Chains A and B, each alone.
Chain A
């Protein structure tokens, strides 16, 4: 089967103090083979993040299926798995990179990446070495390694975020606007990072504001217009 197959998926939000239910996304269908990179584009508020957050169970799915081919559990529906299974998958199989960095206070950049590995059960020596490799790989200045990330620039925070997620070598990586609010140079760096990950065989789903940035990188591009996904078999330029 495909690595990830989203079938007739929908998500609503009930907002009690307004007495309202809002449809965020409806009848989403999307399929992703192992090693593929799918980009999702669309206006803000069109439900791009809702898809990613539903896959990662930050949002509780309402309708449809999110079939995932897990290494540990086989073919499972992420909309139905237990909380404990989801925690396992987050630890060992599915990574998530948001545009915001939310980490333990007063923990150094180096320690954060090391911790990500220690939590997976790596030995301290291995974790320390791998963390340094990851920080170097993502071109974070060694001068920053022992400082606290709340002083970092947006681009540095983002690269740390990606380092923390990818050091665990997830099979499926979800990228939630990894280029938002970055300058051109930082964007190019992030693009290079994503390219490297793709070449290493990571399956990727990414949300992007600017399609030009993804040109030639994505295997498929989905457009969120009309709150539905439209498939384009080949990479196309985005016309708004």
Chain B
């Protein structure tokens, strides 16, 4: 089976701090978790490499502080990488390291290739714009100019995520957490991105709303064939959604495999602890 990954990430590194003699060499550095005691540098992501294939959901699990969100922020260019490469397999971008592209090119990737759903809707939405306005903003960024068409698209998207249309002109700050999350998903989907990042999207939602969002994500995968990276510390969410799963600890990938294999036959000591903690 010959299959090209849609996204290849190689040796992604992200550190906060300059590093010192003690910690600059990755092989020999001695850290407390991800922290260098001599100089105070935090190594948030260390040598992260993985492939994301078309139409698959890749789960990223790990405890708080393991580097999950930092990795997502790096991939989405919210945060600059310290070093590393990422390749997106679309005709325009193929075989160019996207981390080395200009700010303008990165913006274009965000507008046309990527969708992002943040854990905190405040990061993904303009709370003082209407919901439909939020979606229009992304559509305009992606090059749309026809107002009528944009309104139609926005309506369809909001309908897909079960936001009642009579509330579409309302500002998302009036909405419940679950509704905000769904507006955020609608916005992220509006440019038909081949790659969607979901960072702890169900954290803090009650079970009923969580079921809605999970179902929505599955439908998106099935009907639109979008590739997704789903970050969660909730193993039950990962079990439901992800085809394959990567486990992060102290900024490093310690294990990866088919999701049910990682959960039922975990190899690494830490993953075993994580799975034993599952309710």
Binding site for B on A (CB under 8 A): 13-17, 53, 57-60, 72-73, 82-88, 102, 104-107, 115, 118-119
Contact = CB atoms under 8 A, between A and B. Distances in A.
Contacts, number: 62
A130 B208 CA distance: 29
B67 to A, nearest CB: 22
B264 A59 contact: yes
B1 A15 contact: no
Nearest to B263: A58
A15 B269 CA distance: 8
Contacts of A15: 272
A59 B265 CA distance: 5
Given A58-B260, A83-B258, A84-B56, 15 more contacts: A59-B265, A60-B265, A60-B267, A73-B1, A86-B258, A87-B243, A88-B1, A105-B207, A105-B214, A105-B240, A106-B211, A106-B212, A115-B218, A118-B222, A119-B222
Contacts of A106: 208, 211-212, 215
Contacts of A58: 258, 260-261, 264-265
Contacts of A87: 56, 243-244, 258
Nearest to B270: A16
A59 B262 CA distance: 9
**B interface: dominant SS:** helix
Contacts of A82: 1
A134 to B, nearest CB: 18
Of the listed residues A17, A72, A73, the one surrounded by the most CB atoms of chain B closer than 10 A to its CB is: A17
B3 interface: yes
10 closest A-B pairs by beta carbon, nearest first, are A16-B269, A106-B211, A105-B211, A59-B265, A58-B260, A58-B264, A83-B258, A60-B265, A16-B272, A58-B261
A60 B1 contact: no
A72 B2 CA distance: 12
A14 B266 CA distance: 9
A84 B261 contact: no
B244 A83 contact: yes
B239 interface: yes
B53 interface: yes
A88 B2 CA distance: 12
A84 B53 contact: yes
Of the listed residues B3, B239, B265, B268, the one surrounded by the most CB atoms of chain A closer than 10 A to its CB is: B265
A161 B96 CA distance: 45
Contacts of A84: 1, 3, 53, 56
A52 B272 CA distance: 21
Contacts of B214: 104-105
B265 A13 contact: yes
A85 B56 CA distance: 13
Interface string B202-243: 000001101110110010001000000000000000011001
